[in-house]
Structure 1
Amino acid sequence: MHDIQQFLADLDWVVHSPSLVDLPGYGADTPLIDISTVDPQRLAEAVKQQKSRFLGPYFETLWRFSIEHSQSHSLLAHGLQVTDEKRTLGEFDFLLQDKASQAIIHQEIAVKYYLGVGLPAPADTDQKLNAADCAWFGPNSIDRLDLKLHKLVQQQILLSDRRESQETLKRLDINTPPAKQILMKGYLFQPLNDDLPAPAFCHPEAAFGRWLPLESIHQLEPISDRWAILPKLRWLSRARSSVDHTMDFSVLRKHLLEANGRPMLIAAMKPESKEELTEISRFFVVSDHWQDKAVESLEMSPLTSFSRYNPLPPQSI
C-alpha cells in the first residue's frame, strides 16, 4: 500500500476502531472527523514531521491530527510537561476542549498489543478459568495489561490533581479541573488453540487475533495461500498489499525460522481484487519458550488488582 493510503487507513483506524478497555468513569471522547475530507498531503506532512519509527509516537501523531481537524474538539496542548524546580513530575498526553460544551478534557492515550496466557491451576481443581486466572503480556513478555492499567488509573490520569499541574494549567487559562479520559487501542491475542476469558475491563468490541509458538507454525498453513509480515508501523489498520509484497507459506516459514523466536506479527491475506490482497486475520509468532518466560516474570512482578474486576477509584474533583 502506498504511504499516503496507509496513513489514511491508519487515521481511520485510530479514530474509529474499538477501544481495548472499558474503564467506567474514564471513557474517551472521539474527535468528529470525516476521513473522506482529509487532505492526504497535510496528513503525510504531519506524519513525516514526527520522524520517529516507533509505533507509539505514530499513533499519537494520528490522534493529534484527528483532534486538530475535527469538527467537535480543539487541541489545547500535546505532551505538556509538568515540572517543579528540579524535575519533571509528569506529562499531559493531550488537553482538548469540547467545542459545544467548552469542557476541558485531559486524555491519556496508548496503543497496545497483549498476548493472553492461562496461568497454571491447582492440581485439585477442574474449574474453568476466569479473568483473574489469566495474564496478558506484551510481545516482549515484560509489559502487561494489568500493569499498564494500574499506571494509567493510579498515576498518569491523576496528574491534574497535583498543585504543580494546576499551576501549569493556569498558564493556559485552564482554571477548573479537566475531565479525565483514558483511551487505549490495539489488539488482544488469544492462544492459537484456546479461548481464554476476556481480561478485566475488556471492551466488548475489542479486536482479537491469535498467538502461537514457533514450533506450531505448521498449523497456519491451511489458513491462507498468501501471507504478509507486518513491520511495527503497519500494526494499526487491517493490512492491504499487492501480490508481490506478500509471500506463500514456505517463504513465510523461512522468514519466521530465521527470526529465531523474535516476536513477529503476520497477517493471513485474501484477494480483494486482481491487484490487491486484504488481511483476514493476524497472528503473533513468538519463541517456543516465550510463555514460560512470561509466566516466570510474575514471580518478580505479581498480577495487580487490575487483573480482576474491581470498582475503580473515584475521580478526584
Structure 2
Amino acid sequence: MSDGLLVDIHKDLTWLYDAPPLLADTTMMANFNPADHRSHNVLSQEWRTYPCAPAYRLGKQFEDVVAALIRNSPSTKLLARNLTILDKKRTLGELDYLMQQAGGQILHLEVAIKFYLHHPQIHGLSSFIGPGGRDRLDIKQHRLQTHQLPLTKKAEVHQALLDLDLPFPTHRAALLTGYLFYPYRTYHTAYWPKITELHSDHYKGWWLRHSEIEQLGTRPNSDTYFVILPRHHWIAGLEHQKNPTPLTATELKNQVTGTYSPNMIVEAKEDKGRWQTISRGIIVKDSWPD
C-alpha cells in the first residue's frame, strides 16, 4: 500500500504466546509470561496499518501486539497504556501498561522486543549489541531495573495515579523478548557463552558481516534458501509471507552487500508447497558495531 504498511498482528500475537524472555527472572525484575494469557477466542486475523519508513517503528507494532494479548486474555483488563506521568508539569516517566489481573492484582508492565548480536570479544550482557551498533542488552536491563519498573514505587507517581482515578500497582513485571544472534560458526556448533543473566531458552539466531556471506554457501543442504524480511515482519517472520521470494546465497549477497541498514534473514526450506523456517540471521555492514 502506498499510504502505509498493512500488517496482520494476529500472526505476531501467535508468535508472542510462545516467545521466551531474553533474561532470567531476578529479584529486581520478574518476567511476564505471555503463555499464561493465551486465549483461543481471538480473531484469526487482526490488521493494523503503520507508516512506511522512516516513520515506521517496530516498537509501536510490538506494543499493539501486547495490547491485543491483554485485550483477548480472559483473566486481564487493560486499565491504561503509554501513560505519561506528570508531577507539576514535570514528566516523571511513562508506564507502558497498567492492567488488572485475575484476583484483583494491579500490574505495571514494561515491554520491549529486541534483537542483539553477540560480540565474541566482549564479556557479559554488554557483549550483546544492537544491529545498529548503539543499543546494548546490559543498558536495557539496567534501565528496566533501575528506572522503568521502579517508577511506580515513587510517591509522586502514586499521587498522579490517584489524580487520574487509577489504582496503584501491586506487582511489576517486564516483557523483554526477541532474538540473540551469535556469530555464524558459533551458532552452528551450538557453543553458547555461559551468562547466568540470560534465560536458558531464549530464541537464538546467527549473524554475519557482508564480507562473510560466502559462509552461507558452504552449507551441505542445497535445498535451503534465504528470505529477506522487511522490518514489519521481524516479529513473526516468515509467517507473514504466503509467497516469499527465496534467494540462493549468491543472490542474497548481491541484494544485501552495500546496503547500510542491517538485514534480517530467514533460512527456509520448502516442504509440500509451504516454506518452513530453518533459522534466522542478521547480516550487517563490515564495520559493525562501529
TM-score if structure 1 supplies the norm length?
Answer: 0.78
Q: 2:18 aligns with which of 3, 6, 16?
A: 16
Could you say which residue in structure 1 is the equivalent of 2:120?
118
RMSD of equivalent CA atoms: 2.5
Q: Give runs of aligned pairs for residues 128-167 of structure 1, distance below 5 A.
A: 132=124, 135-167=127-159
The 3-state SS of whatever aligns with 1:96 is strand
Could you say which residue in structure 2 is the equivalent of 1:124?
none
| Per-residue CA distance 1:64-109 (angstroms, 9 max, x = gap) | 011011111111111111012233110110111112x100000111
Q: 1:82 aligns with which of 80, 85, 106?
A: 85
2:24 maps to amino acid: D
- Contact in 2 for aligned 1:115/1:190 (Cα 8 Å): yes
Could you say which residue in structure 1 is the equivalent of 2:204?
208
Could you say which residue in structure 1 is the equivalent of 2:234?
235
Higher share in strand:
2
Q: Give runs of aligned pairs for residues 42-191 of structure 1, distance below 5 A.
A: 43-44=46-47, 47-48=48-49, 53-99=56-102, 101-119=103-121, 132=124, 135-191=127-183
Aligned residues between the structures = 273
Structure 1 spans left out of the alignment, 5+ residues: 121-130, 294-317
Distance 1:205 1:88, change over 3 A: same
| Per-residue CA distance 1:93-140 (angstroms, 9 max, x = gap) | 0111112x10000011110011011226xxxxxxxxxx5396110001
Give the distance between the partners of 2:51 and 2:169, measured in 1 at CA. Answer: 30
| Per-residue CA distance 1:262-305 (angstroms, 9 max, x = gap) | 3111111111332x3122111111122214x2xxxxxxxxxxxx
CA drift of 1:50 comes to: 8.9
Give the distance between the partners of 1:60 and 1:68, measured in 2 at CA. Answer: 12
2:201 maps to amino acid: E
| Identity between Structure 1 and Structure 2 (%) | 29
| Per-residue CA distance 1:49-72 (angstroms, 9 max, x = gap) | 899721101001010011011111
CA drift of 1:173 comes to: 4.4
1:27 maps to amino acid: N
Give the distance between the partners of 1:149 and 1:234, measured in 2 at CA. Answer: 25
Distance 1:84 1:114, change over 3 A: same
- Contact in 2 for aligned 1:136/1:199 (Cα 8 Å): no
- Contact in 2 for aligned 1:226/1:246 (Cα 8 Å): yes
CA drift of 1:188 comes to: 0.2
CA drift of 1:226 comes to: 1.9
Structure 2 spans left out of the alignment, 5+ residues: 1-5
Could you say which residue in structure 2 is the equivalent of 1:255?
255
Could you say which residue in structure 2 is the equivalent of 1:314?
none
| Per-residue CA distance 1:226-277 (angstroms, 9 max, x = gap) | 2110111111124144555222333211111141x53111111111332x31
The 3-state SS of whatever aligns with 2:64 is helix
Q: 2:32 aligns with which of 7, 28, 34?
A: 28
Give the distance between the partners of 1:48 and 1:242, measured in 2 at CA. Answer: 19
